[in-house]
Amino acid sequence: MKVKIEPRDECLGDAICADECPEVFVIDDEDGLAKVINENPDESLREAIQNAADECPAEIIIIEED
């Protein structure tokens, strides 16, 4: 699986994704927006990533299958 945030500039910076799955998402100190720090996470994180995507108010978290 591959994880992206697109378009990133639409992020609201509420950190739900970083709270749900800090192994994959963080809030960038420079611009206050979420960013992906692990584009190809382990399958064991799928549920947390899906929860982050489902809870994202901007609906910009994309999960692609390999």
Q: Report how many domains make up the chain.
A: 1
pLDDT at 26: 98
What confidence score (pLDDT) does residue 66 get?
80
DSSP string computed for 1-66: -EEEETTGGG-----HHHHH-TTTEEE-TTT--EEES-SS--GGGHHHHHHHHHH-TT--EEEE--
What pLDDT, on the 0 to 100 scale, is given for residue 25? 98
**Taking the complete model, does pTM exceed 0.75, yes or no?**
yes
pLDDT tens, residue by residue, 11-66: 999 999 999 999 999 999 999 999 999 999 999 999 999 999 999 999 999 999 98
pLDDT of residue 42: 97
Residue range(s) defining the domain that contains residue 38: 2-64
Q: Can you give the pLDDT at residue 64?
A: 98
CATH at residue 47: 3.30.70.20
